[in-house]
């Protein structure tokens, strides 16, 4: 795929995703969400840390499954790819 096509496709997908996220946030009751986070208290940070560990371990398992192909991608880059895919899947109604 030519570089300029890939660039425009990336921009288009980012705009579609950003639009979906904005629509999701506008439809959500942020007051209720913040109240729920507030009711958890400081343990929310612990929850975020545990979730981060789970994502990193999941990414490491991807790295193991890729075998020699994993050498082309850093753990951080693979983490970003995995996280982006999962986030897109949350906002994409057909996934």
pLDDT attached to residue 35? 93
Query: How large is the average pLDDT for residues 38-43?
Result: 91
Both tokens assigned to 22: 């904005």
Torsion of CA 74, 76, 77, 81, to 10 degrees: 130
pLDDT attached to residue 79? 92
Query: How large is the average pLDDT for residues 66-76?
Result: 87
d(CA 95, CA 90) in angstroms, rounded, equals 8
Query: How large is the average pLDDT for residues 37-42?
Result: 91
Question: Which ranges of the chain does DSSP label H, i.e. alpha helix?
Answer: 3-27, 30-40, 43-66, 75-91
| pTM for the full predicted model | 0.63
pLDDT above 80 for 33: yes
Query: How large is the average pLDDT for residues 52-63?
Result: 93
């Amino acid at each position: 795929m030519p570089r300029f096509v890939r660039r425009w496709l990336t921009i288009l997908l980012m705009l579609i995703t950003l639009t979906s996220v904005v629509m999701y946030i506008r439809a959500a009751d942020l007051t209720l969400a913040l109240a729920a986070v507030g009711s958890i208290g400081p343990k929310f940070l612990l929850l975020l840390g545990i979730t981060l560990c789970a994502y990193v371990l999941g990414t490491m398992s991807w790295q193991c499954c890729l075998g020699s192909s994993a050498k082309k991608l850093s753990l951080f880059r693979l983490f970003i790819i995995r996280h982006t895919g999962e986030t897109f899947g949350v906002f994409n109604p057909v996934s």
